Amino acid sequence: MVTLAAIFPPTQPPERIGAVAAAADAAGLAQLWVWEDCFSESGIATATAMLATTSRVTVAIGLLPVPLRNVALTAMELATLSRLFPGRLMAGVGHGVLDWMGQVGARVESPMTLLREYTAALYALLHGETVTTRGRYVNLDAVALDWPPAVAPPLLVGGIRPRTVALAGELADGVIIPGGVSPEEVRASVGHLHSQRGAGRGPADVVVFISVPAGSPAPDIAAVVRDYAGAGATCVAVNTDEEDADLARFVGVLAREVRPLLS
């Protein structure tokens, strides 16, 4: 059955993190997703706060923009969280919004090259390997984590275009597909993902972000989730389009009213 998740978007102030995470945990929601958008909450800091105040829910970060972050630092942060909260972290990486990357002086000439080099290095570091690489953007000299995670967190790549989705299939544990994409487009992306699946990677996660109008009835939300599940999504993460929504209540609706309709 498809995994149902909620999204804590960066339009929400950090002071609400604890209440929303606690509501997701209490309701038994499987996953709670956070974003790292410029210039809002840090994905790592938000995930840490959520993990520290809960005991069951998996916290997933989508996405960490790779131009902003040295790959060794990202590996250190994700490894630390994975050791503190084993089995409860997922992480996604992506190009980042190019205009934002330009604002902070981090835009690169070839985002695809950076994403490929970064994903390969990050995956290897999180799996306890010693990495030496001389790339266009990523350069490491015999780097290894002193405290690698006992079990590496799933690493996903965000994107919808065929080249990015194919990269996710080749180098990562799955793909994160942004909102505003139809089930038919998801089905096409899943085909690209599986066609390039790297040997030994195992089944791929396909996470789809969707947004629903505030106050949508549970059957309507469930119907949309089923459409994306039918297109190949393994997880559908739901956001409400009301900026000042009561997310603590919303995650309860997802867990108690929508999820039973999916079984």
Burial environment of residue 159 by CB neighbours within 10 A (0 to 12, 13 to 18, 19 or more):
buried
Q: How high is the mean pLDDT of the chain?
A: 95
- pLDDT of residue 100 exceeding 80, the answer is yes
Q: How far apart are the C-alpha atoms of 9 and 206, rounded to whole Å?
A: 19
SS3 state at 93: strand
Q: How far apart are the C-alpha atoms of 128 and 109, rounded to whole Å?
A: 30
Strand partners, 236: 4, 208
Q: How far is CA 198 from the centre of its chain?
A: 20
pLDDT digits (tens, 9 = 90+) for 29-65: 999 999 999 999 999 999 999 999 999 999 999 999 9
> What pLDDT is attached to residue 203?
87
Strand partners, 207: 176, 235
Q: What is the tally of structural domains in the chain?
A: 1
> What pLDDT is attached to residue 201?
73
Residue whose pair of structure tokens reads 């089930």 in the numeric block:
183
pLDDT digits (tens, 9 = 90+) for 169-195: 999 999 999 989 999 999 999 998 988
> What pLDDT is attached to residue 1?
87
115 contacts: CB under 8 Å, gap ≥ 6:
66, 93, 94, 95, 157, 164, 167
pLDDT digits (tens, 9 = 90+) for 106-158: 999 999 999 999 999 999 999 999 999 999 999 999 999 999 999 999 999 99
> What pLDDT is attached to residue 198?
66
pLDDT digits (tens, 9 = 90+) for 207-252: 999 999 988 999 999 999 999 999 999 999 999 977 667 999 999 9
**Per-residue pLDDT band at 197 (split at 50, 70, 90):** confident
| φ and ψ of 91, to 5 deg | -140, 140
Residue whose pair of structure tokens reads 């960066």 in the numeric block:
10
- pLDDT of residue 159 exceeding 90, the answer is yes
Q: How far apart are the C-alpha atoms of 260 and 263, rounded to whole Å?
A: 6
Q: Peptide bond preceding 39: is omega within 30 degrees of 0, i.e. cis?
A: yes
> What pLDDT is attached to residue 195?
86
Range of the domain at 139: 3-262
- Measure Cα distances from 137 to 37, 108, 133, 201 in Å: 22, 9, 10, 25
CATH assignment at residue 136: 3.20.20.30
Q: How far apart are the C-alpha atoms of 26 and 48, rounded to whole Å?
A: 18
The number of helix segments (H) and strand segments (E) in the chain equals 9, 10
